[in-house]
Structure 1
């Protein structure tokens, strides 16, 4: 085999092609041998029904598989031993290593562009539809995994064994981005993004450039704000113990940020994002007014900021403009306590020169979501948007390659699992009684029903 391939080599390029073809043939032969070994050592209850053929795309080429379908004479169930041994999933056309390439490329460019790149690079051809299906299935699997892990904590009482890191301040920036929808009616989909970090650190001795410390993101399409905050808290709890931590949250004027966030953190300062304040004032009052009043606000003179805006309502050139001025002032008054910069509101002992203004979420949304999901008039199904948001989240958090290396698994129904746990007669209930109750320090810690549970837990 090697001699035949070597006869056609004229330069390094033909040598490379020959090596890839040799690797493909070796892989096929190895799989054939494995199939025969599995047949020789099969369980005596397994009976061969027929042979099935299948093609799997790999990084070295398309591999044709011919394997036996067995039927278990005891259970009546069918099984393909080779597929089980190799971890080949039903209806999947690519190997795990090739899937890694597809997902990483798809996180950077459209599915059609991925198809073109693969074709030009000489990899096995896949249509953009096939690439989409493979990538979406991976993203869907990860989305289900994240939801399952969250349910285990908030519903099943699982105790997280994270680093339990304690810090005085934890920063969260929340934002949303609307992407075009393929759903009937054309209603847009919102990708919610939460950026978590420990503050700032300088990247040079001259302190001219800085970056966020330990940044990580949570991103997805969430049915409710509650779903977003539960996952956000779950992500935080894997690393931090917030018992003695003050949380500072920055975001635009959306109620799911300014209002709902307070229901999920007992010790929190919520701040209206400076960029959005300046943008809204500039839009309705003019850029010069926005520059001057934002400087006033930065100096901590919140009341002067509000009074000046109110005095300028009558100077609006049209009735429509005056109405919009009233509306934005009413919004600022609704969240008046959120207007001041957090550095004026934190305890004195926590203030130092290493604290800076917030507003990094816009850049993170653009870098991690918008560039991939809003280019060239792209539109998304709800499932497709959710899958891609999860992939982009894992990529930023440097978890994507690890997750792509995982063996395939099925997410179990968490409710069914919980019922099973309670039915076990030999359960050691002392461990359960000694465990912490997640709700006490979880997303609903400030609610009345949680306070009641806290009281019962101390009896």
Structure 2
């Protein structure tokens, strides 16, 4: 319930339904216990006897974006923390007349951007077998940390032969509408139509018209910067059908954000640093029906036995060495790709 409502409200619901009185601190302790379990579950895979079986896929979809959450952490000068969010899936399937569901969906949420990127590459490599026929399809708002370059590095690390990146069409239209609203409305309509029809000449004509209306030097500098970004990245606006792809499963990030923002940004809520990460991952687990497994899964007994020293330290080091061999893709020359896409020893 803590994933859906404030802690005080959880206390009221439990009191009214179970006639049991608990305090807000009890709920907080339960959430902190989840944080402990999440860390243990992450370590648990180091102890697995065998690496997971990798699945062959024709299309692999990856989307990334950040969510700004208000923080009470006094050590931070700013009041907002950026929660990195990546979604991986293999397409969509029809589950009812008007409803589609993502296949093999996996979400990564981290406050540490570099760790999120590492976990992204690690998860894909350990769960999917990427070959010459695999198409990597990525989508983002092209903001800081989510540019086409970041996803190209991922494609190089996975050694995919074909990679299609999309500039999220919702954000493209939003940026154009927002920037052009101080000019005649017809220019916005022309610009959106140019995007819809993937017509760069028509969009350049709109920009030329805007440029002729600018009299202020500072405004012109801002416009040139905006124009350059849009035209330089126009190729990523190319619609899916012109790339012989379906648009199903592309541009899903905003809907995936919603469950996080609904719980964590309502009424101007503030969160501690650990609370942001823990609650976000709790929400993901709850939606995937994974909270019960986290609390009562057989993994806890197995992990507890290992923790108590049921095998030697030497074997533990052997297992972590083995994990290193399959946690990142190896190149033919025996080198690995770092998370930035640079070859390292």
Q: TM-score range by the shorter chain?
A: 0.7 to 0.9
C-alpha separation between the residues in 2 aligned to 1:137 and 1:310? Answer: 59
Conserved? CA contact 1:197–1:215, under 8 Å:
yes
Structure 1 equivalent of residue 237 of structure 2: 339
Establish whether residue 270 from structure 1 lines up as the match of residue 165 from structure 2. Answer: yes
Alignment of 1:29-44 (within 5 A): none
Larger Rg: 1
C-alpha separation between the residues in 1 aligned to 2:31 and 2:79? Answer: 24
- Which of these residues, 238, 254, 262, is aligned with residue 143 of structure 2? 254
Residue 251 of structure 1: how far off its partner (Å): 0.9
Deviations 1:209-238 (A, max 9, x none): 3413315242423323x3112222333345
Conserved? CA contact 1:160–1:237, under 8 Å:
no
Structure 1 equivalent of residue 66 of structure 2: 176
C-alpha separation between the residues in 1 aligned to 2:33 and 2:266? Answer: 22
C-alpha separation between the residues in 1 aligned to 2:316 and 2:31? Answer: 37
Alignment of 1:17-416 (within 5 A): 105-143=1-39, 145-146=41-42, 148=43, 152=46, 160-162=51-53, 164-184=54-74, 185-203=77-95, 209-214=98-103, 216-224=105-113, 226-244=114-132, 245-258=134-147, 259-266=149-156, 267=160, 268-286=163-181, 288-302=186-200, 304-306=202-204, 308-316=206-214, 321-345=219-243, 351=244, 354-356=246-248, 358-366=250-258, 368-406=259-297, 407=300
C-alpha separation between the residues in 1 aligned to 2:36 and 2:58? Answer: 36
Conserved? CA contact 2:110–2:277, under 8 Å:
yes
By relative contact order (CA 8 Å, sep 6+), the higher-ranking structure is: 2
C-alpha separation between the residues in 2 aligned to 1:269 and 1:149? Answer: 35
SS at match of 1:379: coil
Deviations 1:326-383 (A, max 9, x none): 23223224534433234434xxxxx25x4447322111101x2001101112100110
Conserved? CA contact 2:65–2:84, under 8 Å:
yes
C-alpha separation between the residues in 2 aligned to 1:125 and 1:216? Answer: 37
Residue 177 of structure 1: how far off its partner (Å): 1.1
Deviations 1:99-155 (A, max 9, x none): xxxxxx101111111111122224432211221122122134314533x368x5xxx
Conserved? CA contact 1:192–1:228, under 8 Å:
yes
SS at match of 2:145: helix
C-alpha separation between the residues in 1 aligned to 2:127 and 2:330? Answer: 18
Conserved? CA contact 2:91–2:249, under 8 Å:
no
TM-score, length basis structure 1: 0.60
C-alpha separation between the residues in 1 aligned to 2:34 and 2:175? Answer: 40
Residue 396 of structure 1: how far off its partner (Å): 2.7
Structure 1: gaps of 5 or more residues: 1-104, 346-350, 454-459
Q: Go from structure 1 to structure 2 and tell me whether the alpha carbon gap of 1:117 and 1:183 turns closer, same or farther (over 3 Å shift).
A: same
Q: Go from structure 1 to structure 2 and tell me whether the alpha carbon gap of 1:332 and 1:160 turns closer, same or farther (over 3 Å shift).
A: farther
TM-score, length basis structure 2: 0.78
C-alpha separation between the residues in 2 aligned to 1:341 and 1:437? Answer: 34
Structure 2: gaps of 5 or more residues: none
SS at match of 1:264: helix
Residue 189 of structure 1: how far off its partner (Å): 1.3
Q: Go from structure 1 to structure 2 and tell me whether the alpha carbon gap of 1:336 and 1:261 turns closer, same or farther (over 3 Å shift).
A: same
